[in-house]
Amino acid sequence: MLEGAGSSISYARVTPLAKNYVSTIALALIPRAVALNLAIGAIVAALKLPVYLDSIGTVLVAALAGPLAGILTGVTSNLVLGMLSSPTFIAFIPVTAVIGASAGVASRVGAFRTVPRAIAAGIMIGLLAGAASVPIVLALFGGVTAGGTGILTIILRSLDLPLGSAALISSMSVDVLDKVLSCVIVAAVLARLPRRLGARFGLPHPAA
């Protein structure tokens, strides 16, 4: 597996799996990223912060290994959360798939190379995630979930906004804040990652 390359060590591209789109190293990273989503999500909830940060592992994998790896991370995260925490997370699998896919596409266009680009990517991912969650919230929860987003929806309903619009605006507002923060953190981490490790994912180093 190891090949000498001048003064530095480089690695041959690992065997592609999952229909030739996801490498072994990406598959090895995904379970750790899923666990990171759960661990950071639990800590943020314990610290009573107004964000979730429970997609930070998904965004990291998508930034390093592309949209399919991002989708796999998001889907696996909510499946595991559904098994370990509450089955309601299973209903939101499409939302986490959208987050993984959009973060992977954003990475392909260099969205994690600078902080301003990461902020723009976070806004885009947050808007898409918010839009994806609204049909689920309307169909299964009657338009409001018990939590910060639900309180925002109720406040917007008190201003005579239709239920769909109130749910959409509250979901997008919360998701944009959360995903901007996640993307900025991922960009900062990628900038500190050894260049050799980024190259192992078969992509140009996102911070290069």
Partner 1 sequence: MIARLGGINPLTALALAVLLVVGTYVVPAPSGPLAALALAVSLAAMAGVARRVIILAAAVSIPTWIFLAVMNAIVAPEGEVVRVGGFDVAPGALVPAAWISLRLGAAVAALGWVVMTTPPQRLVRALARRGLPAWSQYLLAASLAAVPEARRRAREVLDAQRSRGLAVGGGPVARLRATLALAGPLMVSLVTEAERRALALDARAFDARGARTSLTEVADSNGERTVRTVMWGLTVVLIVWGLVR
- Where do contacts with partner 1 occur on this chain (CB under 8 A)? 1, 14-15, 17-18, 22-25, 27-36, 38-40, 42-44, 47-51, 53, 56-57, 60, 64, 72, 76-77, 79-80, 82-84, 86-88, 90, 140-146, 150, 153-154, 157-158, 160, 163, 181, 185-186, 188-189, 192-193, 197, 200
Q: Which two tokens stand for residue 147?
A: 């939590």
Are the C-beta atoms of residues 63 and 92 closer than 8 Å to each other?
Answer: no
Helix (H, G, I), strand (E, B) or coil at 23: strand
Q: Which is nearer to partner 1, 163 or 169 (CB)?
A: 163
- To the nearest whole angstrom, how small is the minimum distance from the Cβ of residue 181 to partner 1? 8
Q: Which is nearer to partner 1, 24 or 114 (CB)?
A: 24
- To the nearest whole angstrom, how small is the minimum distance from the Cβ of residue 7 to partner 1? 20
CA distances from 186 to 57, 61, 103, 108 (A): 9, 9, 11, 15
Could you tell me which of 65, 73, 22 has the C-alpha nearest to residue 201?
65
Identify residue 164 by its one-letter amino acid code: G
- To the nearest whole angstrom, how small is the minimum distance from the Cβ of residue 177 to partner 1? 11
